[in-house]
Amino acid sequence: MTKRNPFEAMNSTFASPSSAPESVVAMIPTAIQKKRDAKSAEQIEKRRASRRTFDQQNPCFGYFIPEHLHVEAKLLRAAILGLAQNRDRNINVTEINMTTSLVSWALGQVRKGNLSIKGTPDARRRKMTVIIEDVADTWEKTPLEIKPIEKKMRAKRIVFTYRFPREIDQQISKLAGNFLPKGEVLIRLLQHAVQAVRNGDTKIIPTPKEMRQEATIVDVKKAGDTW
């Protein structure tokens, strides 16, 4: 029986290239790597600064939807998504663009005196409920079928959040005042605008913009006028 040298296994382990310790020089960051890291950090900070500037210029406004309007709000949102992605009319815009265009048009109708928003007392609620009235007109109408596109939302609490231009939120707040829920005012304005599109009172004009379209809502001309 031959004796085995106990140091053979140790020697073979140290001799193995795979277990050789990493070179100290290789562990020292090079000037090029430091420069790359600094450039990457600078780019990240620029993106963050750009995002902060965008958020400041385009703030998010939240509109709490009263519980009794949850079903209507969901149906309305589905209709707006259906309008924004209406392939039959070659319309493909973002939801926020379509929502902004619709509410802008509705607010324009209020300013023109064609639309009034009033409040009526509701014994079941602390705030009044919104009543919206339209002024009838005899325009040429081309009804539009809207195919709703559903979007999941929380059941108990619904808050619509949009990056509206600040003046739109200010106008909605002014209409709501201290007695009407802002969320309900928004819902009623959007419902009126969507219904106007359905009835053919207004039309959507998609315009190209880089990667995606933008939508503009315009009134339909009276009979005899040219488009």
Query: By mean pLDDT, which of 93-102, 128-137, 156-165 is the weakest?
Result: 128-137
* Residue ranges per structural domain of the chain: 60-219
- What was the pLDDT predicted at 115? 87
DSSP secondary structure, 51-63, as one string: HHHHHHHS--EEE
Q: What would the DSSP string read from start to end of 21-42?
A: PPPTTTTSPPHHHHHHHHHHHH
118 vs 125: CA distance, rounded Å? 16
**Which has the higher per-residue pLDDT, 60 or 27?**
60
The beta strands (E) that lie in the chain are given as 61-65, 115-120, 129-134, 158-162, 202-209, 212-219
User: If pLDDT is split at 50, 70 and 90, which confidence band does 138 have?
Assistant: very low
Averaged pLDDT, 5-33: 58
Residue 2's CB is within 10 A of a number of other CB atoms, namely 4
On average, the pLDDT of the chain sits at 76
pLDDT at 99: 94
Residue 153 token pair: 């939302």
- pLDDT winner (highest mean) among 21-35, 42-56, 108-122, 159-173: 159-173
pLDDT of residue 4: 60
The reported pLDDT for the residue numbered 139 is 47
Q: Are 217 and 108 in contact (CB under 8 A)?
A: no
Place of tokens 């007392």: 121
Residue 223 has pLDDT above 50, yes or no: no
Tokens 């596109």 identify what position? 149
Residue 63's Cβ-side half-sphere holds a number of Cα atoms within 13 Å equal to 26
User: Which range among 98-107, 203-212, 216-225 shows the weakest confidence by mean pLDDT?
Assistant: 216-225
